[in-house]
Amino acid sequence: MAALSSLHHISTTLSLLGLTKPSLLAPPFRRPFRGLPPITSSSLEFNITFAPPSPKPKPPPNLKSDGVLDSDSPQNGQFFIPWIVRGEDGNLKLQAHPPDNFLKALAEAKTQKPKKKVDKAAKKKKDISAVGNAGIEPPAPPPKLSKAARRFYNEHFREPPQRLSKVLAAAGVASRRGSEELIFNGKVTVNGTVCNAPQTRVDPGKDIIYVNGNRLPKKLPPKVYLALNKPKGYICSSGEKEFRSVLDLFEDYLKAWDKINPGSPKPRLFTVGRLDVATTGLIIVTNDGDFAQKLSHPSSNLTKEYIATIDGEVRKRHLIAISEGTEIEGVLCVPDSVELLPTQPDLSRPRIRIVVHEGRNHEVRELVKNAGLEIHSLKRVRIGGFRLPADLGLGKHIELKQSDLRTMGWKS
């Protein structure tokens, strides 16, 4: 029907122009339209054909007809991954290959070998197990500090220069008195010059110190504070050879020092105060001279508690005589307290608790002797606020904590 309508329209137009042959208007057009002039020309013939419709443009591969990427339509079994690139005209466009500048930058890029990931936990566990097999606890690594941090520490926290005799004693060369003798005898040089003054201020970290031709280490040993349960038969000094010294009980401790504190020199240990050879119990061992002097000085008023086991019967008059005190080296020594302890089934001898604070030589023994009693055994159980642990065996020691030192009136 559409073709007939188009033919009718064309024929009508040709008729109006007088170009149509009447035979062409044969049925169904036998008569001309009303109001139009008759067609008289019969010499013209036309061959009219219609062109096929123009084909619609095919969409690009993997694109829908509206220009949108079709991610579901594979091309030759592969998915098309477009690149959105801004062209020279400034407009965005899609293309199937990367832009040239990207390929150039990728070709010029330097490739690096990927670093192997180190499992820190596994490495630490391996180190701990290796050290643990040797029976040594691994030391903590020192922190890495900047130059500014080290300078700030040296200016505000580093210890000022100290007396030469004190430095030698702290380094374990000899006691402070022995160090002074070495200095007086010209056995010590500081920065290449013989020094004969023990009060000379030196810094072991900066000054070069030699003793008997041996270089003093720059790094001093750390401060050590130990509590020993002294057994009977040991003295508190190392000069007499006929008796064993309490310092001999620390041979194993000093042998293991290099394993526990690598790179740190061994400390020179000494006792704080003394206990006679027959007295047992608590004694402090350290390498800190200031700490020892503070605890030993009478101005500290540090109380010391002793338990005296007596041979024979103890009467009230004996306790009164002890509490009244006795004269020792021209000084009247009066105890702080005297108490007869309750009897115990496993102990047949009576015991007296005596607390003193002066700590003169053989003070407790002289107090008991002056009262007419004879001591079977004497044991010190407390210094200041620190009491000898009940489970600490004879000849054994423990390291003191800062809280223990504070109970004895020491603030580091």
Give me the active site residues, please: 276
Amino acid occupying residue 402: Q
213-235: buried (b, 16+ CB within 10 Å) or exposed (e) per residue?
eeebeeebbeebbbbbbbeeebb
Q: List the one residue out of 191, 237, 201, 172 whose CA is nearest residue 182.
A: 172
Count other C-beta atoms under 10 Å from residue 394's C-beta.
13
Q: What is the largest CA-CA distance in the chain?
A: 177
Cα 407-409-412 angle, rounded to 5 deg: 100
Spatial distance between the Cα atoms of 370 and 131, rounded to a whole number of angstroms: 58
Cis preceding linkage at 28, omega within 30 = yes
Nearby residues of 73 by Cβ (< 8 Å), 6 or more positions away? 62
Count other C-beta atoms under 10 Å from residue 290's C-beta.
13
Give SS3 for 201: strand
Cα 32-33-36 angle, rounded to 5 deg: 95
Three-state SS annotation for 67-93: CCECCCCCECCECCCCEEEECCCCCEE
Give SS3 for 339: strand
* CA dihedral over 12, 15, 19, 24, signed as positive or negative: positive
HSE value, Cβ hemisphere, 13 Å, CA-based, for 303: 14
Spatial distance between the Cα atoms of 206 and 161, rounded to a whole number of angstroms: 10
Spatial distance between the Cα atoms of 407 and 412, rounded to a whole number of angstroms: 12
Spatial distance between the Cα atoms of 348 and 334, rounded to a whole number of angstroms: 28
Spatial distance between the Cα atoms of 189 and 183, rounded to a whole number of angstroms: 8
